[in-house]
Amino acid sequence: MKLIQSLIIFLCCPTVIFTQTLRLAIQENGKSVYYATIEKNNIFFSTNSKSHVFNMPVKSNDFITIKHELYEDYSFRIKKNLSNSDTINKIIPLTIKSGKMKLQTLDEFTITNSKYRDIFNIEDEFIIDYYPFPLNRFFVVSRIGRNHFIKIIDTSGDEILMKELVIKPKEIFLDAIGNFHLITKDSAYQIYIEQHEIKLMHPITKKDFDIDLKNLVTLGTEGAFHQSISKHNQMYSLTRIINKEISNIYESFDKEGYENADYHYQRVIDYYMLFTPLKDNVIVMGIWDGDLMTLNNYAAKMLEMTSWSDKIASKPLDVSAHGLQDKIIILDAVRDSIFQIDNHDFTTKEVEAKFEFTGTYFKDYFYDNIYMYTNVKGEILISKINVEDGTSSKIAKLPNMRQPRNIKVINDKVYFTKLEESRYNRIVTVKN
């Protein structure tokens, strides 16, 4: 699991200070077991996706439970009277569940013969957004009439927790360090669980969210890593910030795309300067924000020029970074390559991509995977990217007749929303 996950605020109270460290080695007959779910005081804490030893902060009398679909649950309680510097080392010996000696992962949706299965389908309730997380749970942001809600549901659609909101969120966002946020028009609210209740932290502005969290790739002892696109969307940069110092880690630039975008950008400016009276000229007044669309006075020629420049000439580069365990993965369509950057010594490994990049990706934070969506002949293919050899493998295929929207993947399980004729929607899963 990521080094920073010991700092995750997700699903735990942000004000509690922990003073002891618990080091877990989860095993079965001496062999490490991965993808176990760890609960603290009956609340999800994390998963141990790829670590032999998992560290977590605890305090006296905490109740710890280890869960895995192939093994019996294992629970224990942290002893009392620990000092602040105590480190608890514990080996967790798991026992295989009866009937699973062949270690086959059973499909949780075999209760239906259909390829698809509804997860959440309630009449008169519109799903604004959702997000799956381990233990077969989902955050769901929904609306009934004018009332908005945040819920946690299971795969049967049953409510586990629910909170009515006074805000109107448009999105639920999982940041690079594992925290969930509700995003409104002008603010972002981090959400967490305390005493079996969904709570919201004080908001930050949408501007601060965009700068500090939206483009954050990963955060650890080596600093914060952010990605950005500039120069008419033709320059990609990955930067590192540590001790208030900023350094470039990776750059990608499309010279031809930049020259094309710059040409049309200047054409629009020249046309605007030539035909706009000085009293109305925002460039001359020094208040222009640099966005071509703000120059648009809806004259036919200006509208044509700005539409061309905004939608075609300045199409952003298909380059993106994704923080995985101990490394950053960069998918670079300009170079047709996948780059691995080590989080600690910043060494770079390049692998040629053996598939065509699409620009539409989804990172499974919990299981360290990257997926790609591709439109092919009226179908959407969901593929899993192998960052080691540059290949991709199909996970699912969704026909457009299903009108899939808001596709998300966790541990190779695919979910999407489908809009009904009633104008309400539902969450659907795909059987692997």
Q: Identify the residue with better confidence: 77 or 168.
A: 168
Give the model's pLDDT for residue 414. 93
- Give me the pLDDT at residue 187, please: 96
Beta-bridge partners for 396: 382
pLDDT of 4 strictly over 90: no
User: What is the C-alpha to C-alpha distance for residues 89 and 25, in angstroms, rounded to an integer?
Assistant: 8
What is the radius of gyration, based on Cα positions, of the chain?
Answer: 24
pLDDT reported for residue 61: 84
Q: What mean pLDDT is reported for the chain? A: 82
Mean pLDDT along residues 310-314: 58
Long-range (24+ apart) CB contacts under 8 A made by 294-300 are 295/268, 295/269, 299/275
Q: pLDDT higher for 34 or 370? A: 370
Query: By the 8 A CB rule, do 319 and 332 touch?
Result: yes
Q: What is the pLDDT of residue 111?
A: 26
Matching residue, tokens 């960052």: 387
Closest to 229 in 3D by CA, of 348, 319, 324, 335: 319
pLDDT band at 311 (very low <50, low <70, confident <90, very high): low
pLDDT digits (tens, 9 = 90+) for 242-265: 988 999 999 999 998 888 888 888
Which range has the worst mean pLDDT, 106-110, 398-402, 405-409? 106-110
Taking phi over 0 as left and psi of -120 to 50 as alpha, with beta for the rest, 280 belongs to alpha
Check residue 124 and give its pLDDT.
Answer: 76
For residue 385, name the pLDDT band (cuts at 50, 70, 90).
very high
Most confident of 29-43, 221-235, 311-325: 221-235
Please tell me whether residue 123 adopts helix, strand or coil conformation: coil
Q: Which of 141, 221, 229, 212 is nearest to 176 (CA)?
A: 212
Q: Give residue 383's pLDDT.
A: 96
Whether CATH 3.90.870.10 fits 3-93: no
Decide if pLDDT at 423 tops 90: no
pLDDT digits over 87-126, tens only? 777 888 888 876 443 332 223 322 233 466 667 666 678 8
The number of beta carbons lying within 10 Å of the beta carbon of residue 190 is 21
Tokens 């692998």 belong to residue: 351
pLDDT over 70, % of the chain: 82
End-to-end CA separation in angstroms for the chain: 25
Judging by DSSP bridges, how do beta strands 137-144 and 87-93 pair with one another? Answer: unpaired
pLDDT of 372 reads 97
Does position 132 have pLDDT exceeding 80, yes or no? yes
Between 43 and 17, the higher pLDDT residue? 43
Residues of the chain with CATH 2.60.40.10: 3-93
Q: What is the mean pLDDT of residues 285-305?
A: 71
In which band, very low, low, confident or very high, does the pLDDT at 367 lie, cut at 50, 70 and 90? Answer: very high
* Residues 403, 407, 410: CA angle, nearest 5 degrees: 145
> In 10 A of CB 315, how many CB atoms?
16
* Alpha carbon distance 355, 385 (integer Å): 9
* Residue whose structure tokens are 């690079």: 176
User: CA-to-CA distance for 106 and 85, rounded, in angstroms?
Assistant: 42
Looking only at the bridges linking them, the beta strands covering 87-93 and 20-28 are parallel
- Among 10-24, 78-92, 96-110, 180-194, the range with the most confident prediction by mean pLDDT is 180-194
pLDDT per position as a tens digit, 40-79: 898 888 777 556 677 888 888 889 999 887 788 899 888 7
CA distance linking residue 139 with residue 152, whole number of Å: 5
* Confidence tier at 308 by pLDDT (50, 70, 90): low
Residue-level pLDDT at 2: 43
**Interaxial angle between packed helices 300-308 and 255-275, expressed in degrees from 0 to 180 and rounded to the nearest 10:** 160
Cα→Cα distances 119→37, 241, 380, Å: 21, 41, 20
Q: What are phi and psi of 33, to 5 degrees?
A: -115, 130
Note whether 384 and 421 are within 8 A (CB).
Answer: no
The tokens for 372 are 């790609």
More confident residue, 421 or 364: 364
Q: At 94, give phi and psi (nearest 5°).
A: -85, 150
Place of tokens 């501007």: 207
Binned at pLDDT 50, 70 and 90, residue 401 comes out as: low
Which pLDDT value is given to residue 402? 61
In this predicted structure, what is the pLDDT of residue 360? 92
Looking at 11-20, 159-168, 398-407, 411-420, which range is the least confident one? Answer: 11-20
* Centroid of chain to Cα 166: 25
